[in-house]
Amino acid sequence: MASMVDVSTILNPEGSSEVSPPERLRFLLQRLEGNSLLFQQNSLSERLLAMDEIDALAGGTASTMSEAAAFAEIERRALTLQHRLESANAELYQFIRTEIIGGHMQTILRWLDDLNPEAQNALPRPGLGFDARDDFMASLFQHSDPGDVSSLGSREMIAYQPTPVRHVLHLLKTVTLSDDDLFVDLGSGMGHVPLMMSMLAGVRSLGIEIEPAYVANAERCARTLQLENASFVAADARDADFSVGTIFYLYSPFTGSILKQVLRRLREQSLKRPIKVCSLGPCTCDLAKERWLKTSGPLDPNRITVFESQ
Ligand SMILES: C[S@@+](CC[C@H](N)C(=O)[O-])C[C@H]1O[C@@H](n2cnc3c(N)ncnc32)[C@H](O)[C@@H]1O
């Protein structure tokens, strides 16, 4: 009796569980190596997808000696292809950095649009989680490893985690900015938010961050990209200078008594001039309890909320 053949295995050997991982990787490499479009400058999303596909299949284990030798050869090919893809990306990122330095911010907006996996959604996906736009911005920023920075000094201080790019883009759309504004990120980490605000909206921005190694990284990036309107200071938000800010941003950088103290200081500023306070994460619920702050939009801790002082 003729054996039954699974047609999906023939059509898609890379995805079939009938085919061993080394064989699936070999099929994948065959398809990718023959695709010259992949190495054209503009094929960034295709390259990122290809790199993910290779990552998912590489690093498997062989069960026999001969399989191990064949696998080692396939893995070498995979590594060579990864390097080619990475250097095509590096060339593109360098080109985009030159565009930023030249003030051509439309280029970066076009790329962010192109990499948007949720183009059909009016609102960004709520909450945590990153997408290709986060990898893209991180590659442009080229932050170096800040080393061990585990001593925040208080359990009320929240460890570094960048705002996902989709929320920064939402913030840019939601908040009204003028030339007189100065955007202040309280607990700015490596500076993604101020850097993007200055880069994409041209607004002056300031990052206040307690960890000097993060500040050094943010400053280096602003210098390299010649973003003269973005500056950073290593300070505790409890006693940093707030007098210059008009729009303050908090991605839940601290809780409890520190948050209370900082909100008191923001309230004092609001008695001198109108200010806006934007938030993301659990601190949005604390801001909503402040009687001097009002929002006209929906109150959702998983997306950006913009409050105005009353
Ligand atoms: C959740 S991260 C937010 C990072 C950044 N705002 C962003 O959205 O990409 C919180 C940051 O606040 C910083 N931080 C915590 N307590 C602080 C304080 N008292 N003063 C200044 N920065 C603080 C932490 O070091 C960390 O980088």
pLDDT, tens digit, 9 for 90 and up, residues 211-236: 999 999 999 999 999 999 999 999 99
Nearest Cα residue to 76 out of 141, 29, 41, 134 = 29
Question: Per-residue pLDDT tens for 25-56?
Answer: 999 999 999 999 999 999 999 999 999 999 99
Please, how many CA atoms are within 13 Å of residue 148, restricted to the half-sphere of its CB? Answer: 1
- Does the Cβ of 210 fall within 6 Å of ligand 1? yes
89 and 225 in a single domain? The answer is no
d(CA 49, CA 187): 33
Question: Per-residue pLDDT tens for 271-295?
Answer: 999 999 999 999 999 999 999 999 9
Q: What angle do CA 40, 45, 46 make, to 5 degrees?
A: 60
Task: Specify the 3-state DSSP secondary structure of 184.
Answer: strand
Residue nearest to atom 12 of ligand 1 (CA): 187
d(CA 173, CA 245): 19
Query: What confidence score (pLDDT) does residue 274 get?
Result: 97
Which CATH number does the domain housing residue 294 bear? Answer: 3.40.50.150
User: Is 189 contained in some domain?
Assistant: yes
- Does the Cβ of 209 fall within 6 Å of ligand 1? yes
φ/ψ of residue 309, rounded to 5: -75, 145
- Does the Cβ of 192 fall within 6 Å of ligand 1? yes
- Does the Cβ of 281 fall within 6 Å of ligand 1? no
d(CA 120, ligand 1 centre) in Å: 32
Nearest Cα residue to 19 out of 74, 65, 90 = 74
Domain assignment of residue 77, given as a range: 7-101
User: Is 131 contained in some domain?
Assistant: no
Q: Considering 66, 101, 136, which residue would you say is the last residue of a domain?
A: 101
- Does the Cβ of 208 fall within 6 Å of ligand 1? yes
Beta strands in the chain (DSSP E): 182-186, 204-209, 230-234, 247-251, 276-280, 293-294, 305-309
In total, how many domains does the chain have? 2
d(CA 155, ligand 1 centre) in Å: 13
Residue nearest to atom 10 of ligand 1 (CA): 253
The minimum-distance atom of ligand 1 relative to the CA of 214 is 27
Contact 309, 277 (CB under 8 A): yes
23 and 91 in a single domain? The answer is yes
- Does the Cβ of 214 fall within 6 Å of ligand 1? yes
